[in-house]
Structure 1
Amino acid sequence: MGMTSVKSLSKGYLPSWLSSFRLFINYIISFTLSSILSLLWFYLKPWVKIGLRKCTGLCELQRICYKTEKGAQRSLEVEKCVYSSKCQIVKTIRNQLDDVAKNGRFNSSNTREVVQLVENAVESICNEKEINPSNHPEFVTAMRICFLQIYGYKNLQYKINCLRNVPIDLNNSKHVKKLTKLWNSLNPNNPLQSKISSQWIEIGFNCEDPVANFRGIGLLGLENLLYFSINYTKNAQQILNHSKSTINGFPFASTGIYLTYVTINLLNTGRLKTHFYNSHFGTTCLEDFHKVYCYLFCALEHLWLKEKSNNENDLSFIKEKLISKLDSELERNDIILKWIPL
Structure 2
Amino acid sequence: MALIQVNNFASTGGGNATRSSLFLTMLFKNFLTYLYFYFRPFIKWFLRRFTRLCELQRICYGSPAGAARTRQVEMSLQLSRRREIREMMNILDNEVEHCSEYELRELVKKMVMTVMMAKKIKPRNHPDFARLFGECVEQIWGYRRLICIVEAIRTDQYDPDNLNNEKKLFQLWSLLMPDDRLESRITKQWQDIGFQGDDPKTDFRGMGLLGLENLLFFSSEYNSAARHVLSHSHHPNHGYTFAIVGINLTSMAYRLVKAGKAKTHFYNITRRAPRIEHFHKFYCYLFFEFDRFWISSKPKSIMDFSIIQEKFERNILSVLDEDSTVFKMNNLVVEHI
- For normalisation by structure 1, the TM-score amounts to 0.84
The within-5 A match list for 1:151-170 is 151-170=141-160
Distance 1:43 1:138 in 2: 31
Q: Which residue does 2:267 correspond to in 1?
A: 277
Q: Which residue does 2:253 correspond to in 1?
A: 263
Deviations 1:266-318 (A, max 9, x none): 10111111011111100111110000110011101111222233421232232
Aligned in 2, Cα 1:77/1:42: closer, same or farther, shift over 3 Å? closer
The within-5 A match list for 1:21-40 is 38=34
The within-5 A match list for 1:65-104 is 65-103=60-98
Matched, 1:60 2:55: yes
The within-5 A match list for 1:97-176 is 97-103=92-98, 105-107=99-101, 111=102, 113-176=103-166
Aligned amino acid, residue 70 of structure 1: A
Q: Percent identity?
A: 38
Aligned amino acid, residue 69 of structure 2: R
Q: Which residue does 1:6 correspond to in 2?
A: none
Does structure 1 retain, via aligned residues, the 8 Å contact 2:160–2:166? Answer: yes
How big is the shift at 1:226?
A: 0.6
Matched, 1:230 2:220: yes
Distance 2:42 2:312 in 1: 45
Aligned in 2, Cα 1:311/1:44: closer, same or farther, shift over 3 Å? closer
Does structure 2 retain, via aligned residues, the 8 Å contact 1:100–1:106? Answer: no
Aligned amino acid, residue 281 of structure 1: R
Gaps of 5+ in 2: 1-23
Q: Which has the higher contact order (CA 8 A, sep 6+)?
A: 2
- For normalisation by structure 2, the TM-score amounts to 0.86
Q: Which residue does 2:12 correspond to in 1?
A: none
Structure of greater Rg: 1
Distance 1:179 1:323 in 2: 28
Matched, 1:328 2:328: no
Distance 2:116 2:166 in 1: 52
How big is the shift at 1:142?
A: 1.0
Aligned amino acid, residue 202 of structure 2: A
Aligned amino acid, residue 248 of structure 2: Y
Does structure 1 retain, via aligned residues, the 8 Å contact 2:96–2:104? Answer: no
How big is the shift at 1:77?
A: 0.6
Structure 1 residue matching 2:92: 3-state secondary structure: helix
How big is the shift at 1:41?
A: 6.1
How big is the shift at 1:100?
A: 2.2
How big is the shift at 1:241?
A: 1.3
Does structure 2 retain, via aligned residues, the 8 Å contact 1:106–1:152? Answer: no
Structure 2 residue matching 1:240: 3-state secondary structure: helix
Does structure 1 retain, via aligned residues, the 8 Å contact 2:135–2:272? Answer: yes
Structure 2 residue aligned with 1:181, among 171, 177, 189? 171
Aligned in 2, Cα 1:121/1:135: closer, same or farther, shift over 3 Å? same
Aligned amino acid, residue 60 of structure 2: C
Aligned amino acid, residue 264 of structure 1: Y
Two-structure CA RMSD over aligned residues (Å): 2.2
Distance 1:41 1:304 in 2: 42
Structure 2 residue matching 1:137: 3-state secondary structure: coil
How big is the shift at 1:44?
A: 4.5
Distance 2:213 2:39 in 1: 50
User: Which deviates the most, 305-314 or 135-144?
Assistant: 305-314
The within-5 A match list for 1:205-244 is 205-244=195-234
Q: Which residue does 1:8 correspond to in 2?
A: none
4+ aligned runs moved over 6 Å, structure 1: none
Aligned in 2, Cα 1:164/1:193: closer, same or farther, shift over 3 Å? same
Q: Which residue does 1:194 correspond to in 2?
A: 184
Q: Which residue does 1:45 correspond to in 2?
A: 40
Aligned amino acid, residue 80 of structure 1: M
Q: Which residue does 1:203 correspond to in 2?
A: 193
Distance 1:44 1:294 in 2: 43
Structure 2 residue matching 1:69: 3-state secondary structure: coil
Does structure 2 retain, via aligned residues, the 8 Å contact 1:106–1:155? Answer: no
Distance 2:136 2:317 in 1: 23
Aligned residues: 307
User: Which deviates the most, 284-293 or 121-130?
Assistant: 121-130
Does structure 2 retain, via aligned residues, the 8 Å contact 1:176–1:195? Answer: no
User: Which deviates the most, 289-298 or 198-207?
Assistant: 198-207
Q: Which residue does 1:24 correspond to in 2?
A: none
Distance 2:49 2:100 in 1: 36
Distance 1:60 1:152 in 2: 22
